[in-house]
Structure 1
Amino acid sequence: MLWKTKGQRPWCFPSNKKTRGHDIMAAFRVLQGSPARLRLQVMLPDCAGEHFMDKEKNQNEKVGRIRRLNDRFRRSGIGGDILITPGIQSLGDEGLQKVAAKVAEFDQFDHDNDPHGEHDFGAFDHDGQRIFWKIDYYGPDLMSGSEDPSDPDATRRVLTIMLASEY
């Protein structure tokens, strides 16, 4: 059945769980042989646009969830492992604590250092040295990349903190 309810465009057709998309053939069968057939051809781009907007909304929600998980991990260490390089280790305990605090408090994200909006990279200066940190996404076994970084059960995060000169 075609949608004709308030708030939805007419002649768009619903998706179903099996196809996860618009069931074009079912809509075509409904309209086939009727004067509305031409309307179907004209209206498909609008329906595809709605589907694209739904996918974009889902992607934005996924990125937002990744961002929140990364922020939580960076601030608390929950959900992954933290690695430091020899250069960071050479800063001593006090230097390491200051660097860790700067990583946890980092909030200077912009399009240059965070083009995907995931809060997975940062850079700052500490005692005249440039520091980089990066969060990578692995599967629970740490042997391969995560298939879905927005799923904390399927992802093990690894935060690496390094001197820029070690990159």
Structure 2
Amino acid sequence: MTPEQTAKVAELNDLVRKEMKGGKWVRTQGVMATQYDGPGLYAMVARFEDFTEANNPHGERDAGVIKIADHVFFWKIDVFRDAECMYGAEEPWNPDASYRILTLMLMEEY
């Protein structure tokens, strides 16, 4: 990818993470079983900005970790060709040719 395409991927990933646009969120049973499943946790994911070289080596802002008490939550964005989620996107920088799924899970579920 070109630097411009990478920047567009990051922008689209931010859009699904912050505004739930261009894709959808899913959460695992492990997350649903915690007392933290709800608007507070979702807001923490949406506000996440602790991107570093270690957790964002390609500059796509597609994953992060949030710690709450004794729980470690992990979120990851996968990019598909469309909402059917059958195939990976060939042009993840193109909003008309990509669809994002943000999965929120407990770290031990990864």
Same fold (TM over 0.5): yes
How many angstroms apart in 1 are the aligned matches of 2:57 and 2:97?
A: 23
Alignment of 1:73-152 (within 5 A): 73-92=16-35, 95-140=37-82, 141-152=84-95
Moved over 6 A (4+): none
Paired residue type of 1:69 = L
TM-score (norm 1): 0.62
How many angstroms apart in 1 are the aligned matches of 2:7 and 2:21?
A: 18
Q: Say which structure is richer in strand.
A: 2
Tell which structure's C-alpha radius of gyration is larger: 1
How many angstroms apart in 2 are the aligned matches of 1:95 and 1:87?
A: 9
CA RMSD of aligned residues (A): 1.3
Gaps of 5+ in 2: none
For the pair 1:61 / 2:4, whether they are aligned, the reply is yes
Gaps of 5+ in 1: 1-57
Deviation at 1:128, TM superposition (A): 1.6
Corresponding residue SS for 2:25: strand
Higher relative contact order (CA 8 A, sep 6+): 2
